[in-house]
């Protein structure tokens, strides 16, 4: 299977490994001024991007502070941010961002240090937000989740963060994480107890799944596709639980 390093998506390993290796690739690291205290950094980012976000949200009938939902696709190198529409109760696609840096291959993350990207269904409560990240702003997606633990998968500090360099984390650039972090933080403050992050190996169409027939990940991916299809049908993120070592959706 083709390595993902060339398609630049989330080999979400550990933020600690990113930080340890930050000095090893200075040419890839964005220049930043003296770091601000975490609260000030998030506030400055929000003040900078909020006017444009609110203008663009209003243009499509959406509102800052309303619930958000995130999907990421490894092969397509895309990160989607949805906002719930007050009129319909469904989640509308607001922005699609390219991923700036990553590594790994298609397939789930199995162990600490494997440089693999998690695939599955995760959620981010307020205490997982990290405004004091060495990579500008960040949040922890919550790997390993209940499914991962049931399959003895392990790892720590699986982050979405700023900058353009990643040794195992999802780097979005400082410019884009300012928008992403601001909308997610506003959703928390607006009352959303957590936002969901769904990570897929690729867009799980029937045609694409046919190409994966016989893969060692086929059964796992078919289970992921159930959740993918449910959102595609309803435009509401499904409730996800784990029963008998499989994801179950409502």
Return the domain boundaries, the chain: 4-249
**CATH class of the domain at 4-249:** mainly beta
pLDDT at 228 over 90: yes
Higher per-residue pLDDT: 16 or 63: 63
Tokens at 14, concatenated: 């550990």
DSSP line for 114-178: S-PPP-EEEEE-GGGEETT-TTSSEEE---S-HHHHHTT------EEESSS--SSSEE--HHHHH
pTM of the model: 0.86
Catalytic residues: 161, 169
Residue-wise burial string across 188-227, b where 16 or more C-beta atoms lie within 10 A, e elsewhere: beeebebbbbbbbbbebeeeebeebeeeeeeebbebbbeb
Tokens 């083709």 belong to residue: 2
| CA dihedral for 26, 30, 36, 40, sign (positive or negative) | negative
Distance, in Å, from the CA atom of 233 to the CA atom of 155, rounded to the nearest integer, reads 32
Distance, in Å, from the CA atom of 46 to the CA atom of 75, rounded to the nearest integer, reads 30
Q: Which helix (H) or strand (E) segment is 54 a member of? A: helix 38-59
Distance, in Å, from the CA atom of 134 to the CA atom of 169, rounded to the nearest integer, reads 12
| CA dihedral for 200, 159, 197, 28, sign (positive or negative) | negative
What are the tens digits of pLDDT across the range 103-154? 688 999 999 998 888 999 999 999 999 999 998 999 999 999 999 999 999 9
pLDDT at 28 over 50: no
Closest CA to 132 of 42, 69, 12: 42
In degrees and rounded to multiples of 5, residue 145 shows phi and psi of -90, -170
pLDDT tier for residue 67 given thresholds of 50, 70 and 90 = very high
The three-state secondary structure class of 234 is helix
How do 170-171 and 159-161 pair as beta strands?
A: parallel
The three-state secondary structure class of 246 is strand
In this prediction, residues 185-202 reach a mean pLDDT of 97
pLDDT at 32 over 50: no
Contact (CB, 8 A) for 97 and 224: no
What are the tens digits of pLDDT across the range 84-106? 999 999 999 999 999 887 668 89
């Amino acid at each position: 299977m083709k390595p993902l390093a060339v398609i630049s998506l989330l080999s979400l390993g550990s933020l600690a490994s990113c930080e340890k290796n930050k000095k090893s690739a200075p040419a890839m690291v964005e220049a930043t001024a003296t770091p601000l205290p975490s609260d000030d950094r998030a506030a400055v980012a929000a003040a900078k991007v909020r006017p444009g976000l609110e203008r663009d949200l209003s243009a499509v009938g959406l509102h800052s502070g309303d619930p958000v939902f995130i999907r990421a696709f490894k092969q397509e190198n895309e990160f989607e941010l949805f906002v719930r529409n007050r009129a319909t109760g469904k989640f509308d696609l607001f922005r699609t961002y390219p991923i700036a840096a990553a590594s790994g291959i298609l397939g789930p993350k199995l162990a600490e240090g494997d440089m693999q990207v998690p695939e599955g269904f995760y959620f981010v409560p307020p205490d997982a937000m990290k405004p004091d990240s060495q990579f500008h702003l960040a949040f922890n997606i919550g790997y390993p989740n209940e499914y991962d633990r049931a399959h003895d998968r392990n790892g720590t500090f699986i982050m979405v963060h700023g900058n353009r360099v990643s040794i195992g984390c999802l780097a979005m650039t400082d410019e884009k994480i300012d928008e992403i972090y601001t909308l997610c933080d506003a959703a928390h403050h607006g009352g959303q107890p957590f936002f969901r992050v769904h990570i897929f190996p690729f867009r799980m169409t029937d045609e694409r799944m046919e190409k994966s027939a016989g893969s060692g990940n086929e059964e796992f991916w078919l289970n992921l596709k159930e959740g993918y299809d449910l959102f595609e049908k309803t435009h509401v993120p499904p409730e996800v639980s784990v029963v008998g070592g499989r994801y179950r959706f409502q």
